[in-house]
Structure 1
Amino acid sequence: MSSYEEPNLSIQSFHQCSSLISIKLSTTNFLVWKSQILPLIQSLGIEHHITNLQKPADEITDSDGKKTKNPKLDIWINNDGLLMSWLLSNMKEEVLNMIFGGDTTYSIWRSLQEHLLPNTEENEAQLKNSLYALSKGMLSLEEYTRKFKEIRDKLAAIGKPLGDVDKVFQMAQGLGEKYKEFRILSFVKTSIPII
């Protein structure tokens, strides 16, 4: 039997949440999409549907030993169906084709993680390689800074933001010899502990 308290939700509960979702899930934005979806699922009190496969027992036994249908099971089934439909409606067709056949919200969520988290990790590696390879070279300082910021923002968008020291270090590394004094000053400032 499930140890979670199951709220009695309706389509309206999910309809109200839909206006708070600004993007649909694609094969490249899982972490950003999840950062919008997960707090809403938590606010509805049904996060256990994506973290735990356990559902209420089919029957309950009263004090006389008589078995009856568990009313909590119907509520769980209703909530799981509503949540599953809501999640699917917030996905692009390319993702829907990847997870076809899930019969519970839990199985769909697991499928999403199995298919899309590796994409996120691969994307992180590609972005970091681009960042390490980025140099000012023949670019103007403005172009270099813009490209650096684009990569940095993309890393943050997939949930892998650079720390402040890494930002300064990588930015300074790509500037080259002409900006040697800036590089030294940046290194010294980031090495001094802030009290």
Structure 2
Amino acid sequence: MDPLVENPNNPPPAATATATATNAAVAAVPIAATTLTVTNPFANSLNSSLTVKLDRLNFLAWKSQVLPTVIGHGLDDILLTGAAPPRLMVDGSVNPEHISWVRKDQLLLSWLRSSMSEAMLGFLPQYTSSNSAWRALEQRFTSQLKARILQIKSQLSTIQKVVTLIS
């Protein structure tokens, strides 16, 4: 056999070392003979796409930048529903789609955290998925917005009473 032609039964030493290291890293997770390709959904434009970091006062402005970016990258199902594919296939093997989903979710969670001020990061350490962090942020800021609306309505009512008394 020509030494320049690779023999699939006898891979070159570098390929063997790589395959062994790769297999050792995932030995605890048996995967069927499937090639799993996970692309970074953030590789194109997320680093510079947000001009506002989330703080205690700008949730709506921050959200108005985050949602179109997430939707544009096709990650809205992960962020808004949190519905992961089944972990295991019918035959008991690990579902490659689940692995890909978890990786995308963790990249999304990391990206969300990187778009926040340090003060806001302290609010999220216990959340381990992008969806749980998103729901917690929406709940926190929705209640703040409702309280602010009630405060403004009260102030407006007071102003209207004063105007009525003056007239």
TM-score interval, normalised by the smaller of the two chains: 0.5 to 0.7
**1:37 partner SS:** helix
- Tell me the residue number matched to 2:120: 95
d(CA) in 2 for partners of 1:83, 1:120: 25
118-127 or 70-79: which moved more? 118-127
Structure 1 pair 32–128 and aligned structure 2 pair: CA distance change class (3 A):
farther
* Residues 93-141 of structure 1, C-alpha deviations (whole Å, 9 max, x = no match): 2221122210111110111112221111222233444455568x9xxxx
For the Cα contact (< 8 Å) 1:59–1:68, is it kept in 2?
A: yes
**1:31 partner SS:** helix
* Residues 1-60 of structure 1, C-alpha deviations (whole Å, 9 max, x = no match): xxxxxx9541643x6123221111112221221111001111111111222232111221
Q: Paired residues, what number?
A: 129
- Percent sequence identity over matched residues? 26
Indicate yes or no: 2:40 matched with 1:10.
yes
Question: TM-score normalized by structure 1?
Answer: 0.57
Structure 1 pair 30–55 and aligned structure 2 pair: CA distance change class (3 A):
same
One of 136, 152, 160 as aligned partner of 1:111: 136
Within 5 Å, which residues of 2 pair with 1:162-181? none
d(CA) in 1 for partners of 2:134, 2:52: 17
d(CA) in 1 for partners of 2:122, 2:92: 41
Within 5 Å, which residues of 2 pair with 1:1-195? 8-10=38-40, 12-13=42-43, 16-61=45-90, 66-131=91-156
For the Cα contact (< 8 Å) 1:24–1:91, is it kept in 2?
A: yes
d(CA) in 2 for partners of 1:42, 1:11: 11
- Provide structure 1 residue ranges, at least 5 long, that are not aligned to the other structure: 1-6, 138-172, 178-195
Question: TM-score normalized by structure 2?
Answer: 0.65
Structure 1 pair 56–11 and aligned structure 2 pair: CA distance change class (3 A):
closer
Amino acid corresponding to residue 128 of structure 2 in structure 1 = D
Instruction: Write out the 4+ residue segments of structure 1 that deviate beyond 6 Å after TM superposition.
Output: none
How big is the shift at 1:69?
Answer: 1.5
For the Cα contact (< 8 Å) 2:84–2:101, is it kept in 1?
A: yes
CA RMSD of aligned residues (A): 2.7
d(CA) in 1 for partners of 2:101, 2:40: 12
